[in-house]
Chain A
Amino acid sequence: EPEVTQTPSHQVTQMGQEVILRCVPISNHLYFYWYRQILGQKVEFLVSFYNNEISEKSEIFDDQFSVERPDGSNFTLKIRSTKLEDSAMYFCASREQGVGEQYFGPGTRLTVT
């Protein structure tokens, strides 16, 4: 069964460093998402991406964040200068055209020290 994959599973970085979180969505899916979950809190929407552009972003997704689909398979989230409060689990999700569920990857745990 096709699944969303994410790498790395755990990333430790120092404050101020850039990180790139990688996702490989399901191959025939057209809509892509990033969510995050700070420890002990709810899952929060960051950004959605369709047709090679951002379709919606939350107030969390400020200028320090960017997304890219550099080729036909990868979908990345970049944080330019990480802060302590960026420590969280980051989930990638994708869905196909039309009404359908979002399929989530296993997440990347980002720890900023």
Chain B
Amino acid sequence: AQSVTQLDSQVPVFEEAPVELRCNYSSSVSVYLFWYVQYPNQGLQLLLKYLSGSTLVKGINGFEAEFNKSQTSFHLRKPSVHISDTAEYFCAVIRSGGYNKLIFGAGTRLAVHP
């Protein structure tokens, strides 16, 4: 079975500051990794994904994440946040192969302050 841990339930940060949202996963098989964002009263939007290849993946809105297999981590980063980045961020994994249900972490609420 797979599981995802997002260590921070809330991350407050000032506008234009860098941010890192942490994600660790557990799995006995190969997985694919995803970050989704949920803006208030909206659905889930894919930020970025890691399937294979380069461990540094770039996504939309200036976000990037690095897959670290030895540490089983997939932390999300942005060098300079905007007020509009305020949202809930979910890390998720899929077992590679099969019908691929997403296993989500509990989410991290990013609050960007002016």
Distance in angstroms between the alpha carbons of A35 and B100 in the assembled complex: 13
Distance in angstroms between the alpha carbons of A57 and B105 in the assembled complex: 19
B80-106: CB near A (< 8 Å → 1, else 0) gives: 000000000010100010111111111
Asked whether B71 is an interface residue with its Cβ less than 8 Å from the other chain, the reply is no
Chain A binding surface, main DSSP class? strand
On chain A, which size bracket covers the interface?
20 to 34
On chain B, which size bracket covers the interface?
20 to 34
Distance in angstroms between the alpha carbons of A45 and B51 in the assembled complex: 20
Contact A35 B102 (CB under 8 A): yes
Query: Residue A44 contacts which of B32, B43, B104, B107 (CB distance < 8 angstroms)?
Result: B104
Chain B: residues with CB nearer than 8 A to chain A? 32, 34, 36, 42-46, 49, 51, 90, 92, 96, 98-107
Chain A: residues with CB nearer than 8 A to chain B? 4, 31, 33, 35, 41-45, 48, 50, 55-56, 58, 91, 93, 95, 99, 101-107
